[in-house]
Amino acid sequence: MPKSKRQTRDLRPALVFLSGDLLAVPIPLEREEVILGRALEADVRINDTKILRRHARINTIFNAQNETTSYVLTDLTSSDATLLNGQPIAQEILQPGDKITVGEHILRFEMLDEIDREYQRQIRRLLSHDDLTKLLSSRSFFSELRRESERAKQEKRVFCVLMMDIDYFKTVNDTYGHLTGSKTLEEIGLCITQSLRSGDAAARFGGEEFAAFLLDAELAQGLFAAERIRAEIENHEFSVIRQGKSSAAYHITISIGVATFPKDSSDPIELVEMADSALYHAKRAGRNRVCAYQDLNPEDANKPLPPRRD
């Protein structure tokens, strides 16, 4: 029996981030011209103050005579600030494996088939998400929050940040064991996800602390969403794991702080700190409640945050 011909691999050009907030993200080069830069309208937008709004360009050039395709990298800075394999360039043809440096970010040019592309997507998911809850990691959350802040400033949009902390979580581990504690965190991640809209982002900050930001949300909408999360968790029957099996259920609550962009702050880090101040106030006020930073009196708002205990 004759051997079947091996199918031609569907290779497509892509840039893969080797550093920075977008580590392992594959960016397909689907257009004839792709702009790399800091501008919101850049095709490959890189949040790096050391690069220009339009920093470099990649053109796809098809040669009809010999039916070949070339990918040409051009520096747009007029100062050779784009590096290819460590050397400044004005214009060069890219080869698979070439490393492009712009600012503090490094990208690798590759020709990827579907298996390669799926592998890169899986790696990105592992790096950017918490393995237990499937929510964003804290690092990925801050990366997305910084991007959203820049976009909101440009487009004069609003959004809310929520900081959340499970009440008396240590008691869960002490009473039911760490398997139940891990299962509780997993179920809380699901409750938060189901309570948010498409396009909102949620993260696990580590331990029993969670965060979220809600796009195009004024304070009233942020408080409504936070209350929905609080009620969902209060009413949820959490599983108790004994000998590897689920048995009786129990209940737990969560406290939530809310801060708004840009009314409370237009700085993403400060916004998280303000939501955290509101969360701490909710803890001191009795837990299992939602508190807005705008509702704090100046003394509470400016008070340094001591470590929370459950």
Pairwise CA distance, residues 49 & 146, whole Å: 13
Single out the residue of 33, 80, 32 nearest to residue 55, CA to CA. Answer: 80
Cβ neighbours around 70 below 10 Å, total: 12
> Apex CA 23: angle with CA 19 and CA 29, to 5°?
100
Query: Is 208 one of the catalytic residues?
Result: yes
Sheet containing 12-17: order of strands: 26-28, 12-17, 105-112, 99-102, 82-84, 87-88
Tell me which of 110, 148, 208, 273 is the catalytic residue: 208
Query: Token match 């029996």: residue?
Result: 1
First and final C-alpha spacing in the chain: 70
Residue 52: strand, helix, or coil? coil
Peptide bond into 262 cis (omega under 30): yes
Q: Which of 102, 49, 58, 50 is nearest to 80 (CA)?
A: 102
State the catalytic residues.
208
